[in-house]
Amino acid sequence: MKNIDSISHVSGKSVYVDDIPVLDNTLYALIVPATIAHGVLKKIEYTGDHSDFVRMITASDIPGENQIGSIIPDEELLSSQEIHFMGQAIAIIVAKSLNSAYMIRDEVHVEYDEYKAITDPRVAFNSGNIIGESRKFQCGDIVWADCDTIVSDRVDMGGQEHLYLETHGSYVIPTERGYKVISSTQSPSSVQKMIARVLGISMHLVEVDVNRLGGGFGGKEDQATPIACMAALAVNITDRPVKLILDRIDDLKMTGKRHPYSADYKIGMKSNKIIAYDVIFYQNAGASADLSPAVLERTLFHATNSYYIPNFKATAYSCRTNLPPNTAFRGFGGPQGMFVIEAAIDKLAEKSGIPAYVLQEANLMKNGDKFPYGQITDNLMLTDAWSKIKTIKNVYEEEIEQFNHNNKYFSKGMAIMPITFGISFTNTMMNQGSALVNIYQDGSIGLSTGAVEMGQGVNTRILQALISSFGVSADRVKMETTNTTRAINTSPSAASSTHDLNGWATLDACNQLIRRLEKLLIDEYQAGSVEFINNRVIFNDRSLSWDELIQFAFTKRVDLAAHGYYCTPDIYFDKEKEKGHPFAYYTTGVAIQMATVDIIRGTYKLDKIDIIHDSGRVMNSNLDRGQIEGALAQGLGWMLLEDLQYDDNGRLLSNALSTYKIPDINFMPDIKIEFIGANNPLGLMGSKSIGEPPLMYGIAGYFAVRNAMRNHKNIDMAYKTPLTPERILMGLFS
């Protein structure tokens, strides 16, 4: 099935928040951002007399709680006094037009007492600025004396801007019964809950509706919430509809990114088996907790990537700095955990002279192996994928040897990257989904779920599940908006889990309806077996069209609506012991990447990548390819290009697309994807989740470039990302 949004996307008819026609009396809001990263707000005033000025809203105007922290209550919606990052919201300007709002905002006068800013997580750690508790995962006993090769090093990873095409936005309308909120959020229920908290009302008065997002990537899992809260607050105060859309510059400045991390590790092996790994992670959380503790946890889950390491210790700290609160980003801490172990293996390879791929292969997880947190693996396709990659590696190797032999100023290299990504929210409670299937009396169907469509194709996948269950064609079904009155208490569309959770819930609703229809046919026609196929129902030696059946069922007073629910079975995690079975299953795969470095310029070209990916039973190969290619681009961008720069005062220097470079079509390697995988009983229609895992194939890009440099000469270059041409050049000439 094609992505059901493809025609409206290509013809420009897809509707995003900013496309919704506004009511006549709509007001426009803008956020007044702090212009220092750390300090105290002394005074804020607007003394102008612009005729379009309606209100300036500050913390003291909030009728409920001035608090939006979801895991830890440490984040004010509007600063009441303390400033923790540059771009923090200190007031909201409400005006009759957007242009006027900008002019008014320019004239707001703010005074601060400024303190010194901290931007480095290690500096934060050393001065005791830690968010929440430190976490430690541990198994076995590390005995360094048992190792024959030991290396240790420091690793630093940069952050990453989400750069969804649609910036944050919300449009809130006062209604007779409360608030109708249109929000570009991955988490409608979080928006509902926080608006209720901020306004001091109950949740049933807030209806949140989401049609689709122009990308989310985690950036709208938590951080769409304050935007919607501010718009709702302005509605509460003015009693008029309010639209608040961030322009790109505000969005870049005000919102958090992927977490930069710094790490120290020590790793040891005996012959080629890794038998000891000790790692400390310093996460740069930014100014408040946001989702950082959960991101930190996933770093620990993925700290051994796809390897079995019997003796292991990982300690992780979430460090509070004066940057915008960093947040969920595709992979959610997993990529950082995986990069460090890959860096450690790279260094082990260098020291021992054993190629990295030999070490990777020797330590690759097999079904039945146990992760340090206790989950035993099954249904991994790692070894199958690896053996296919090995064949491709021989071809790559030959090409590289020949090329490097014949070229003096260019050097090729390659790297292999296995991935194993746990599928489920690590917070067990969040693994639930729901659906509402309405069959109208003419046989047409409306489907509402908790899933938010953000370009990933989740609606298409869930639709596939529904039509395969009812045996009807897709044109009988309308995918409704995600709405908190039709799908309640939803989890964010995140953790690669949305189609599983909401797809299974849809199938639960379908099954209930099918059972009712079967009962009708048994009661009325003594039906034996009943089959739903090709828009018909077949029973005994006759059949009815789906529409006839539904019309009949309606006259016989059969309930034609069903609420479906799903919660992932058999998952749990004990945070005291740091052990459990947190994931439904794992998505796995292996990639091999080739790169050519220009020795004189420090530039490089990503030649090609071959990916053997385990998607279970592939549900929709085009959607899966789209997710792999997009995730790979994001992973390669994070590793090689995207350089978030803050100055010592916490000011974002790479604050526009002129200074923040992201992958384009020319940057990307030739991509070959082969799917392997067997039926996955816990995945929707036997599939495996795909949203996040392929991002980590991008890590191969870093090591392919590094190996190309190394094939030219010995290098002694810090493990630091992104590996930009500047860093390559300095690495080659140091």
Catalytic residues, by residue number, are: 692
C-beta closer to ligand MOS: residue 291 or 527: 291
CB of 720 to ligand MOS, least distance (A): 23
| Residue 495 makes contact with ligand MOS by CB under 6 A | yes
CB of 373 to ligand LUZ, least distance (A): 13
| Residue 258 makes contact with ligand LUZ by CB under 6 A | no
406 phi and psi angles, rounded to 5 deg: -95, -5
| Residue 495 makes contact with ligand LUZ by CB under 6 A | yes
The alpha carbon torsion through 705, 710, 712, 715 (nearest 10 deg) reads 110
Structure tokens at 325: 């609160």
Region at 39 (left for phi over 0; alpha for psi -120 to 50; beta for the rest): left
- N-terminal to C-terminal alpha carbon distance within the chain: 53
| Interaction partner, residue 425 (ligand MOS, ligand LUZ, none; CB < 5-8 Å by kind) | ligand LUZ
C-beta closer to ligand LUZ: residue 167 or 186: 186
| Interaction partner, residue 298 (ligand MOS, ligand LUZ, none; CB < 5-8 Å by kind) | ligand LUZ
Q: How many residues bind ligand LUZ (CB under 6 A)?
A: 14
Distance between CA atoms of residues 687 and 510, nearest Å: 19
438 phi and psi angles, rounded to 5 deg: -110, 125
C-beta closer to ligand MOS: residue 100 or 687: 687
Distance between CA atoms of residues 16 and 504, nearest Å: 27
CB of 368 to ligand MOS, least distance (A): 28
SS (H, E, C) 311-330: CEEEEEEEEECCCCCCCCCC
| Residue 571 makes contact with ligand LUZ by CB under 6 A | no
| Residue 328 makes contact with ligand LUZ by CB under 6 A | yes
C-beta closer to ligand LUZ: residue 318 or 426: 426
Which residues, numbered 218-237, are part of the site for ligand MOS (CB under 6 A)? 218, 221
User: Which one of residues 294, 303, 584, 595 is an interface residue with ligand LUZ (CB under 6 A)?
Assistant: 294
Taking contact as CB under 6 A, which single stretch among the options 30-38, 420-428, 446-454, 534-542 is the one that binds ligand LUZ? Answer: 420-428
Distance between CA atoms of residues 134 and 131, nearest Å: 8
C-beta closer to ligand LUZ: residue 453 or 692: 692
| Residue 588 makes contact with ligand MOS by CB under 6 A | no
User: Which one of residues 265, 425, 470, 604 is an interface residue with ligand LUZ (CB under 6 A)?
Assistant: 425
User: Which one of residues 213, 419, 494, 723 is an interface residue with ligand LUZ (CB under 6 A)?
Assistant: 494
| Residue 675 makes contact with ligand LUZ by CB under 6 A | no
| Residue 332 makes contact with ligand LUZ by CB under 6 A | yes
Identify the helix (H) or strand (E) that includes residue 586: strand 585-598
Residue number, nearest CB to ligand MOS = 218
CA dihedral (229, 261, 717, 607) positive or negative: negative
Contact at 8 Å (CB) between 433 and 450? yes
CB of 218 to ligand LUZ, least distance (A): 6
Strand 432-439 and strand 178-183: pairing?
A: unpaired
| Interaction partner, residue 329 (ligand LUZ, ligand MOS, none; CB < 5-8 Å by kind) | ligand MOS
Name the amino acid, one letter, at 360. Q
Distance between CA atoms of residues 559 and 557, nearest Å: 6
Q: Which of 410, 122, 77, 80 is nearest to 229 (CA)?
A: 77
What mask of x and - would describe binding to ligand LUZ in positions 48 to 67, judged by CB under 6 A?
Answer: --------------------
What mask of x and - would describe binding to ligand MOS in positions 290 to 329, judged by CB under 6 A?
Answer: --------------------------------------xx
Distance between CA atoms of residues 442 and 38, nearest Å: 61
Structure tokens at 388: 């296919």
| Interaction partner, residue 345 (ligand MOS, ligand LUZ, none; CB < 5-8 Å by kind) | none
C-beta closer to ligand MOS: residue 492 or 650: 492
C-beta closer to ligand MOS: residue 191 or 495: 495
Structure tokens at 603: 């530039």
SS (H, E, C) 215-231: CCCCCCCCCHHHHHHHH
| Interaction partner, residue 426 (ligand LUZ, ligand MOS, none; CB < 5-8 Å by kind) | ligand LUZ
| Residue 690 makes contact with ligand MOS by CB under 6 A | no
SS (H, E, C) 250-312: HHHHHCCCECCEEEEEEEEEECCEEEEEEEEEEEEEECCCCCHHHHHHHHHHCCCCCECCCCE
CB of 706 to ligand MOS, least distance (A): 26
Which residues, numbered 160-189, are part of the site for ligand MOS (CB under 6 A)? 186
Axis-axis angle for helices 498-525, 458-470 (nearest 10): 20
C-beta closer to ligand LUZ: residue 496 or 596: 496
C-beta closer to ligand MOS: residue 332 or 573: 332
Structure tokens at 440: 């109208």
Structure tokens at 588: 């796995």
Which residues, numbered 325-364, are part of the site for ligand MOS (CB under 6 A)? 328-330, 332
| Interaction partner, residue 186 (ligand MOS, ligand LUZ, none; CB < 5-8 Å by kind) | ligand MOS
Q: Which of 350, 360, 402 is nearest to 382 (CA)?
A: 360
Structure tokens at 239: 């009693």
CB of 495 to ligand MOS, least distance (A): 5
CB of 494 to ligand MOS, least distance (A): 3
C-beta closer to ligand LUZ: residue 317 or 332: 332
CB of 600 to ligand MOS, least distance (A): 39
| Interaction partner, residue 427 (ligand MOS, ligand LUZ, none; CB < 5-8 Å by kind) | ligand LUZ
Q: How many residues bind ligand MOS (CB under 6 A)?
A: 10
Distance between CA atoms of residues 316 and 334, nearest Å: 13
Distance between CA atoms of residues 439 and 446, nearest Å: 6
Q: Which of 666, 669, 670, 686 is nearest to 678 (CA)?
A: 686
Contact at 8 Å (CB) between 83 and 41? yes
Render 439-506 in DSSP notation, one character per residue: E-TTS-EEEEESPPPSSS-HHHHHHHHHHHHHT--GGGEEEPPEETTTS-SPPPS-TT-HHHHHHHHH
C-beta closer to ligand LUZ: residue 129 or 427: 427
SS (H, E, C) 53-89: EEEEECHHHCCCCCCCCCCCCCCCCCCCCEECCCCCE
CB of 331 to ligand LUZ, least distance (A): 7
| Residue 453 makes contact with ligand MOS by CB under 6 A | no
C-beta closer to ligand LUZ: residue 31 or 494: 494
Distance between CA atoms of residues 221 and 685, nearest Å: 26
328 phi and psi angles, rounded to 5 deg: -55, 140
| Residue 298 makes contact with ligand LUZ by CB under 6 A | yes
Q: Which residues contact 523 (CB under 8 A, 6 or more apart)?
A: none
User: Which one of residues 262, 322, 377, 426 is an interface residue with ligand LUZ (CB under 6 A)?
Assistant: 426
C-beta closer to ligand MOS: residue 179 or 697: 697
| Interaction partner, residue 214 (ligand LUZ, ligand MOS, none; CB < 5-8 Å by kind) | none
| Interaction partner, residue 319 (ligand MOS, ligand LUZ, none; CB < 5-8 Å by kind) | none
| Residue 494 makes contact with ligand MOS by CB under 6 A | yes
| Residue 428 makes contact with ligand LUZ by CB under 6 A | no
Using CB under 6 A, list all residues that contact ligand MOS: 186, 218, 221, 328-330, 332, 494-495, 692
Using CB under 6 A, list all residues that contact ligand LUZ: 218, 221, 291, 294, 298, 328, 332, 425-427, 430, 494-495, 692
